[in-house]
Chain A
């Protein structure tokens, strides 16, 4: 089963930040492939959501970029900035807490119903 894009939307920034924390530098296509691989193709990052998020993270100063020229095309690598490293920890912890709470919430609901 592939997770819906609504579920992924709220966690996309955290996924990208965590990917960059675990890998020195990555480009867009590489990220989509890595996520597919790590989740057994259950999470597929769409290009329409990934690139706006990457641009927003760059604007916020969470990531820095590096260009690599491959013939006629340019590859843009993303790296975590110092601020981004701090933010990654916060966001990962927040998401972990959120998942715990959701577990609790969703376990309780059938009993009360």
Chain B
């Protein structure tokens, strides 16, 4: 039996590495295997190097790294099946969570927002990236991989935008616009021009492109459905009229409690206006300066226990105290139908800036009327 030296072992190992076998496990396996052959078959007087090179040639057709490539192929092929299973399970789970979340939201049941976040989150951050990995493996050309990556990224962005919209999170519109814009101006041309070049995929590419244009167009129409400037102006004018009416009613000073409620109301309105138009009240010359109060969100002060939430809570208590003390059943009913019936922490999710402003104005008007009738009764 030939006795192999440490130097010869080093020589074989570095040759295996030089020939492109990078997996350590495989290097060691091959090294031991070659050593065994040499020990068994090499005569003491024979030339080691020549024998080694002749032996290692038997291991491959073109080059030694074929063994490593074959190993990687076998391992990834197995992962491929596992990935496909995860993909299907993950897709089914996402869709189930998303649809049941929507039903929960519709029925005002607890857990709707968790289900929606989980469903859309796993759809866009797990299902779509996995889908891309599988598609990228099937795709041969780099351009096909790019289209697959872009398609999955736009899909993920679009679904996250939908999640932001239903959860009333900031930045939702920007996400939605960006995903529609990328889909229209990057994804669609990239998809169309890579597909149209292949004769076998031409018809399919044209049909899918038309569907894509249709879907993007429909989305754009939906986004475009927001009220026009003139409609918004009418709403703003109505609100300003309401304010004027209120000011006239408040000309006669009321009780101390009513004044305290009014002060709270004014603070809430100022906070809402500050977020919407950057000023704490609507200036008299708003028409000249073309200032527009757009219908939108309440602002961050009305979320997460902000100052707005606190003010609304105080207002609710103050009204409660006022109606209880005065025994005013009508006003009590009016309050119970107003925005104050909602938990202040939840208001930001439900009401727009305009609806809160209008509702508070109405409450103040009713309060002024109640004070007025009290004064008449005393006389």
Contact = CB atoms under 8 A, between A and B. Distances in A.
B108 interface: no
Contacts of A55: 25-26, 71, 74-75
Given A71-B6, A71-B9, A76-B25, A52 B74 contact: yes
Majority secondary structure of chain A interface residues (helix, strand, loop or mixed): helix
Interface string A50-82: 011111100110000000001111111000000
B95 interface: no
B78 A51 contact: no
A70 B33 CA distance: 13
A55 B26 CA distance: 8
Given A48-B66, A60-B78, A72 B9 contact: yes
A16 B288 CA distance: 89
A52 B30 CA distance: 11
A53 B58 contact: no
B37 interface: yes
A27 B37 CA distance: 13
Contact of A56 (B32, B37, B78): B78
Contacts of B46: none
Interface residues on B, range: 20 to 34
Contacts of A32: 33
Contacts of A74: 28, 31-32
Contacts of B32: 27-29, 70, 73-76
Nearest to A75: B32
Contacts of B31: 73-74
A53 B32 CA distance: 17
Interface string B67-96: 100110111001000000000000000000
Contacts of B29: 28, 51, 54, 76
Given A60-B78, A76-B32, 15 more contacts: A28-B33, A29-B32, A29-B36, A32-B33, A46-B59, A47-B58, A48-B66, A48-B67, A51-B33, A55-B25, A55-B71, A55-B74, A55-B75, A73-B32, A76-B29
Interface of B: 6, 9-10, 25-26, 28-33, 35-37, 58-61, 66-67, 70-71, 73-75, 78
Interface of A: 27-29, 32, 46-49, 51-56, 59-60, 70-76
- Sorted nearest first, the 4 A-B pairs with minimum C-beta distance are A29-B36, A56-B74, A52-B71, A52-B70
20 contacts: A28-B33, A29-B37, A46-B58, A47-B30, A48-B59, A48-B60, A48-B61, A48-B66, A49-B70, A51-B33, A52-B73, A52-B74, A56-B78, A60-B78, A72-B6, A72-B9, A74-B31, A76-B25, A76-B28, A76-B29
